[in-house]
Homo-oligomer: A and B are copies of this chain.
């Protein structure tokens, strides 16, 4: 099937949203934990985590101010604190349920049955059931003028995971903890490991490592 620009534009609006989003492929499913200044906790699923660099360790995510995600964004801008939490495939229905539009004063932790966990000096709550927990400090908000979306950038301040997932060279094998992947807004995946390949060089083909 071939679609040219004009045909893409003419797709029915909900169909196009589902089509273009799912077409953009496999993603990490991440629960973002945050807490307002007056202490209301929030957790919501996102699929737009972006690695920006390792030195310093910086990650971003994309936020649309006009959606349910506004509580998360407002909390981050108020407190500079948020958490990324990866759950296991067995928890995919709970994870998805965090995308429901709960009232601001309702904690999605309670509503969907995840446990709120507070760690040391970090303001934002973690998901206790998560097998990877990352504490983030907000650094910069970049507005994408083309469509009003926002790239939220922060630095990694705290990392917790099972060290059995980490290879000698630092590689994290997420599949060892059955960590949940996703596509689009509602499809969930369990990625199976195929292999790791050596640093590619022109004169020599890649080999398994």
Contacts and interface: CB of A to CB of B under 8 A. Distances in A.
Contact of A16 (B28, B50, B103, B170): B170
A70 B92 CA distance: 38
A193 to B, nearest CB: 6
A77 interface: no
A26 to B, nearest CB: 4
Contacts of A76: none
A158 B4 contact: yes
A195 B98 CA distance: 16
A55 interface: yes
A171 B22 contact: yes
A117 interface: no
A23 B149 contact: no
Interface of A: 1-5, 8-9, 11, 13-28, 30, 48-60, 62, 86, 89, 92-93, 96-103, 106, 111, 132, 134, 139-140, 142, 144-147, 149, 151, 153, 155-163, 166, 169-175, 179-181, 183-184, 186-202, 205-206, 209
12 contacts: A1-B160, A24-B49, A27-B27, A51-B62, A92-B195, A92-B197, A93-B197, A93-B205, A97-B200, A101-B202, A171-B187, A189-B192
